[in-house]
Amino acid sequence: MNRHPKKAKKQRRTVRPWTYDRAKAALPYLRSVVRSVRDHRLQVQGHDLRATRLAERSGRPDCEALIARAEAARAADRAQEAFDDALHELNRLDVYCLDPISGLAFIPFLHKDQLAWFLFDLFGENLLDSWRYHEDPLEIRRPISEVAAPPSEAPLSV
């Protein structure tokens, strides 16, 4: 008999680690999805702000004000759904958005048998130029050259 029927069980989720080559190859798609996440989040904030400002106007609202507030709320809901869909697409790929406005996302990989993260930066110079271990503080950014596979040298023909 379950003594705590209303307590939700913690769900464990298996994260598929990426390789550097796979992450590099997926950069154009990831850029598109992270940009969509950012754009939709900004739209949600804009519509919410407009609805809040309309609601906070002094005096009794007229018919136009009520309609404008309802339209702003509906637009915010539509933008929130689009944001959630784009975020779900990232999560389906096992890429996790750290900060949608800044365009930061984490891509999991294994380094020396430890969980680590490639840091995808939408506004960074190379999109994928740093990484960190899972236990590292969020501010830590290690150079990607430490984990990137060096280009293989072709054998010299003599």
Q: How high is the pLDDT of residue 56?
A: 84
pTM of the model: 0.79
Are 116 and 56 spatial neighbours (Cβ–Cβ below 8 Å)? Answer: no
Q: How high is the pLDDT of residue 129?
A: 87
CA distance 150 to 153: 9
- Tens place of pLDDT for every residue, the chain, 158 residues? 555 556 666 677 777 899 999 999 999 999 999 999 999 999 999 999 988 888 888 888 888 888 888 898 899 999 999 999 999 999 999 999 999 999 999 999 999 999 999 999 999 889 998 999 999 998 999 999 998 865 444 444 43
CA distance 91 to 63: 42
CA-only gyration radius of the chain, Å: 22
Q: How high is the pLDDT of residue 54?
A: 84
Q: Phi/psi of residue 113, each to 5°?
A: 60, 25
